[in-house]
């Protein structure tokens, strides 16, 4: 009788959860698997041999396997939450650095927070934030975005905050400091920041449809 024996790698589920699958492009559930070598006899695995060979994170939807490090990337749900918190924190910090009571600046700050997903954000909430937030923590809120935001996202972020600072007139030294610290945290250069601020202050040229009515045209 011929005895057929051998070894085979088998994956065993050790935990499950939610992660951001880069193949699917959205949050998915995953299974974290441990891979071990098994002794097989007549193709039937009998017992594991030696130490675990490694671990893999497997997307439950597309089946792609990733290294464990993929779990350190925030899910899009977590990322949106981080972004919402950071925009609001930065908006309030900018308002605090300028004229807190300026109507236009307050409404720009409210717009920024709402635009980032805090839809019910209003003036009362803003007043609360002004009294409650510890502005020295701004960096901690913004740091996670440096990895997750693309260049355009970073520019939009800075632009929104700059708009708040510019609403009550030219940027004051303390408002400039807030912008400088934000863009440094996001990895943007000082020149890049100047470019963003300049494009925020330069009025957009009216498009053809926005031109003056005919009766005001000079011939």
Q: Does 178 bind Zn ion (CB under 5 A)?
A: no
Q: Does 21 bind Zn ion (CB under 5 A)?
A: yes
N residues, the chain: 219
Q: How far apart are CA 8 and CA 12, in angstroms?
A: 13
Q: Does 68 bind Zn ion (CB under 5 A)?
A: no
Site stretch for Zn ion (CB under 5 A), options 19-27, 125-133, 179-187, 198-206: 19-27
Residue from 4, 14, 16, 24 in contact with Zn ion (CB under 5 A): 24
Measured from the CB atom, the residue of 21 and 94 that comes closer to Zn ion is 21
Q: Does 59 bind Zn ion (CB under 5 A)?
A: yes
- Computed from CA positions of residues 155, 157, 161, 166, in that sequence, does the dihedral angle turn out positive or negative? positive
Q: Does 61 bind Zn ion (CB under 5 A)?
A: yes
Residue 66 CB, nearest distance to Zn ion (Å)? 9
Q: Does 23 bind Zn ion (CB under 5 A)?
A: yes
Residue 20 CB, nearest distance to Zn ion (Å)? 9
Site stretch for Zn ion (CB under 5 A), options 8-16, 43-51, 57-65, 206-214: 57-65
Measured from the CB atom, the residue of 8 and 23 that comes closer to Zn ion is 23
What single DSSP character describes residue 170? S
Size of the site for Zn ion (CB under 5 A): 7
Q: Does 49 bind Zn ion (CB under 5 A)?
A: no
Residue 14, SS3 per DSSP: strand
Residues 27, 75 contacting (CB under 8 angstroms)? yes
Helices (H), the chain: 76-97, 103-115, 123-132, 138-148, 151-166, 173-185, 190-201
Q: Which helix (H) or strand (E) holds 103?
A: helix 103-115
Conformation bin of residue 187: beta by default, left when phi > 0, alpha when psi is -120 to 50: left
Residue from 62, 77, 177, 190 in contact with Zn ion (CB under 5 A): 62
Measured from the CB atom, the residue of 16 and 46 that comes closer to Zn ion is 16
Tell me the two tokens of residue 111. Answer: 């717009």
Tell me the two tokens of residue 173. Answer: 């030294």
Residue ranges binding Zn ion (CB under 5 A): 21, 23-24, 28, 59, 61-62
């Amino acid at each position: 009788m011929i005895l057929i024996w051998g070894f085979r790698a088998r994956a065993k589920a050790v935990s499950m959860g939610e992660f951001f699958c880069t193949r699917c492009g959205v949050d998915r559930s995953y299974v974290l698997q441990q891979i071990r070598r098994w002794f097989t006899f007549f193709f039937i695995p009998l017992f594991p041999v030696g130490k675990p060979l490694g671990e893999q994170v497997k997307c439950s939807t597309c089946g792609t396997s990733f290294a464990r490090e993929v779990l350190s990337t925030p899910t899009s749900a977590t990322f949106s939450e981080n972004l919402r918190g950071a925009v609001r924190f930065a908006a309030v910090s900018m308002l605090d650095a300028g004229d807190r009571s300026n109507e236009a600046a307050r409404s720009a700050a409210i717009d920024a927070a709402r635009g980032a997903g805090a839809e019910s954000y209003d003036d009362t909430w803003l007043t609360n934030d002004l009294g409650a937030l510890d502005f020295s923590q701004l960096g901690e809120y913004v740091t996670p975005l440096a990895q997750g935001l693309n260049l355009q996202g970073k520019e939009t972020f800075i632009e929104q905050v700059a708009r708040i600072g510019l609403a009550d007139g030219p940027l004051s030294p303390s408002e400039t400091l807030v912008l400088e610290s934000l863009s440094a945290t996001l990895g943007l250069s000082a020149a890049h920041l100047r470019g963003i601020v300049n494009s925020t202050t330069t009025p957009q040229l009216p498009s053809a449809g926005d031109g003056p009515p005919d009766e005001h045209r000079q011939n």
